[in-house]
A = this chain, B = another copy of it.
Amino acid sequence: MDIKNWRHAFKVDPAKNITDHALERLAESGTDGLIIGGSDGVTLENVLDLLARIRRYSVPVALEVSTVDSVTPGFDFYFIPTVLNASKTEWINGIHHAALKEYGHMMNWEEVIAEGYCIVNVDCKAAKLTGVDKVPDEEDVVAYARMAEHLFKLPVFYLEYSGMFGDPAIVKAAARVLENTKLFYGGGIRNAEDAREMARLADTVIVGNVIYEDLEAALTTVQAVQTMSH
């Protein structure tokens, strides 16, 4: 299924422990996809382990690439983040260049989805890693959304609140200026109500941390989103 139609996805961190039973419930929850990705501790070994345990289910699986070393065939999609508000060039296009030098000739571009990230929570791990040191305000976010849509023609603009629930006014402002680029929202979704609120504004809602803290609550977010009209 085309990611343009994704309304809900779970983000599963290869560096965190998860039981086979929990994985099965996520895979068969009715979510549109599983995104395998994390900010640190991601290795080829833990990615392959998760891949092997997930591929028995029919749910689409994407690898969100954070280190070149952990890339492996077998995923339906490869999400490539470019952190638009990073202060370190390596996270805008530097690691990408290194990866393209090594693997550019053998990449299947139909499986590759470039995501324009805007990291809003400056205290999260991804912010520290990429050098996001200033909280972008609504105007900043709107300008990054336009950059994703018009300048770089990215298929996805990813508003990342990582661990904190976002400001609906900002999410709405980003949504308003996007047309071809899809808006992914991630951060702080802990229950069905949170998921519904952000799904009213964003194209796709990503649920991550709560998987590890309260699996039942995480699972309720699927139906909350999937029963909405958009």
Contact = CB atoms under 8 A, between A and B. Distances in A.
Interface bracket on A: 20 to 34
Given A101-B143, A142-B104, A152 B154 contact: yes
Nearest 5 CB-CB pairings of A with B = A100-B143, A153-B153, A101-B143, A152-B152, A104-B146
A191 B118 CA distance: 47
Helix, strand, loop or mixed for chain A's interface? helix
A144 B98 CA distance: 10
A151 interface: yes
A84 to B, nearest CB: 6
Give how many copies assemble into the complex.
2
A96 B147 contact: yes
B104 A93 contact: no
A97 B85 CA distance: 9
Interface string A216-229: 00000000000000
Given A82-B152, A109-B150, A152-B154, 7 more contacts: A92-B92, A93-B147, A97-B140, A100-B151, A104-B177, A114-B151, A152-B152
23 contacts: A80-B151, A82-B152, A86-B89, A89-B89, A96-B147, A97-B143, A97-B144, A97-B147, A100-B144, A100-B147, A101-B139, A101-B140, A101-B142, A101-B143, A104-B142, A104-B143, A104-B146, A112-B150, A112-B151, A114-B151, A152-B154, A153-B153, A153-B154
A67 interface: no
A29 interface: no
Contacts of A85: 97
